[in-house]
Chains A and B, each alone.
Chain A
């Protein structure tokens, strides 16, 4: 028998549990009134002898119905005979009980084999209000426990059965109880789990269990110290593993000063830094690779420009196109901010800025969106592409942008019709002709770039490539500064 398991023996699907668990059986604990027939009791007593011998190593003397341990049982029967007997200094009455049932597996010819022998103290009968001389023929309720060694019932209480109706009720209840007891007893997982996680020491319940060897209970069923400590140690290991997992999962824990968090943050920033460089290089289609001088200028500029230029530039270009698409001549700041197209441009730029932030100081996404929008608008204003009506209001004048774009379209169209390879745009000329005193060279360059992109897309069979030369006096604007357009035509066209 496994001393540390809860099962003493298993016979097929039926588990015979250790006596420590008998209290969880409702028939054993006394919560159920266990009714039984004389025939069934005699049969179960013979079978229980074998169960206690084979499955419990004779350490137990208990009546079993399958694997149900039974203590006090209840019978109704007629006393058909009795005899008096002295045992030690106590006088006992042994009477034969008959309830019209028999152990059908046994055929005997003597009275003892056919009826149930019950043992009771003579004094007890008097205390229960019964007359000794009139016992024969009485129908009684008999309560007691089975004694396997003598195959008899140890009577604990007797009381009269007054009518056949009462006896019939007993028969009905007992018939139903037979079916219940034929279902084997199985402990629920909750009981088993609760039992083996108890911290307190287990004490043997000798008053409830009829144990042959008392020493066995004290020794065999006690949980050893080493086993209990081992369980605790495993739990500690699992707890530590869980803590490790939490540390790995949450790298942004502000209270954690381990290097892994900083390393992750650094890698995060580094990976983001690589992205705009790639984007910047990919957006070089406006440059003719054959011109080494222009390429050198580009390299010089990339060394000084901030990392965020490409995304800001693309966002500004998109915003210009959106404004060109509007039919109205002016628009308020709030209306411009609410436009769906503007929102998507601002959101994408804000996402980029959000990732650029340091881990230490974090701004909210909403504030970054407003900041990005304000920055884009201010750039257009500083270039003179959109104008402010007056200082106090938040309304933008879109006419400078629209007029300049229209002018650029006309100039490029004339150059293409004349098949000119170069064209010059002077700042002073544009300012005077279009009445745009605040326009800047950068603004003119941006508008012409967008116009050239559109033209190339519209007439791919005519315009093959283009690029813009800035005035050699880099950074200094005066009346003579301007830009030089270079157009390259398709072979078929030329």
Chain B
């Protein structure tokens, strides 16, 4: 399952905690780790800031086409409204949406993310699996729902 997350900073903290645990445990023994770390999936509703195209000289991001820079929705995060995040994107996914005229800066997106833990000592990679462009009605209903008591319960179920 994927977890529904509202705050990008919260998302980063979750991944950082997991990464440190795995890194410290196996780094402390001095042994070469030879395990596959579990992947994580998340679902976020964010605002599109911009696209950055990747430089081809970095080895660990070989195969990714670009990065999508996203930001928290102000209506959901009064303290972390300016929190941003960079999400890697494959060329296939970019090609599928590049001609969509609605895909402009400032658009609110429903993004599904996969977090991959790479080789030893490498930082985790956030990849966009899929995303959808949300309408104004969708955004309004979503904000109302997550603020209601029923929405809080659902978020607890999703992140339990």
Contact = CB atoms under 8 A, between A and B. Distances in A.
Contacts of A37: 157
Interface in B1-55: 1-4, 38, 41, 43
Given A37-B157, A78-B112, A168 B145 contact: yes
29 contacts: A39-B157, A78-B130, A80-B41, A80-B112, A98-B1, A98-B2, A99-B1, A101-B1, A102-B1, A102-B158, A104-B157, A104-B160, A114-B1, A137-B130, A163-B135, A163-B137, A164-B132, A164-B138, A165-B137, A165-B138, A165-B141, A168-B141, A168-B142, A171-B151, A171-B154, A172-B145, A172-B150, A175-B153, A175-B154
A102 to B, nearest CB: 4
Interface of B: 1-4, 38, 41, 43, 110, 112, 129-130, 132, 134-135, 137-138, 141-142, 145, 150-151, 153-154, 157-158, 160
Given A80-B129, A137-B130, A164-B142, A100 B137 contact: no
A100 B2 contact: yes
* A38, A100, A172: residue with the most chain B Cβ atoms closer than 10 Å: A100
Interface of A: 37-39, 78, 80, 98-102, 104, 109, 114-115, 136-137, 163-165, 168, 171-172, 175
Given A99-B1, A100-B43, A164-B134, 6 more contacts: A80-B41, A100-B2, A163-B137, A168-B145, A172-B145, A175-B150
Contacts of B153: 175
Nearest to A114: B1
Contacts of B41: 80, 98
A109 B158 contact: no
Most buried by B among A38, A104, A115: A104
B154 A102 contact: no
A381 B1 CA distance: 117
Contacts of A104: 157, 160
Of B1, B2, B110, B145, chain A has the most CB atoms within 10 Å of the CB of B1
Contacts of A99: 1
Contacts of A114: 1
Given A168-B141, A168-B145, A175-B150, A100 B134 contact: no
Contacts of A172: 145, 150
B112 A38 contact: no
Contacts of A39: 1, 157
A8 to B, nearest CB: 31
Contacts of B138: 163-165
Given A78-B112, A80-B129, A100-B158, A38 B1 contact: yes
B145 A100 contact: no
A105 to B, nearest CB: 9
B114 to A, nearest CB: 10
Contacts of A137: 130
A115 B114 CA distance: 14
A80 B42 CA distance: 12
Contacts of A102: 1, 158, 160
A21 to B, nearest CB: 32
B154 A109 contact: no
Contacts of B130: 78, 136-137
Contacts of B158: 100-102
A-B complex: 9 closest residue pairs judged by Cβ atoms: A102-B1, A164-B138, A104-B160, A137-B130, A165-B141, A100-B4, A100-B158, A168-B145, A109-B38
A267 B41 CA distance: 99
A102 B151 CA distance: 16
A340 to B, nearest CB: 80
A98 B142 CA distance: 18
A171 B145 contact: yes
A99 B158 CA distance: 9
Nearest to A116: B1
A100 B3 contact: yes
B120 to A, nearest CB: 19
A114 B160 CA distance: 13
Contacts of A78: 112, 130
Given A164-B134, A165-B138, A172-B150, A101 B112 contact: no
A160 to B, nearest CB: 13
Nearest to B134: A164
Given A100-B2, A109-B38, A115-B1, A164 B157 contact: no
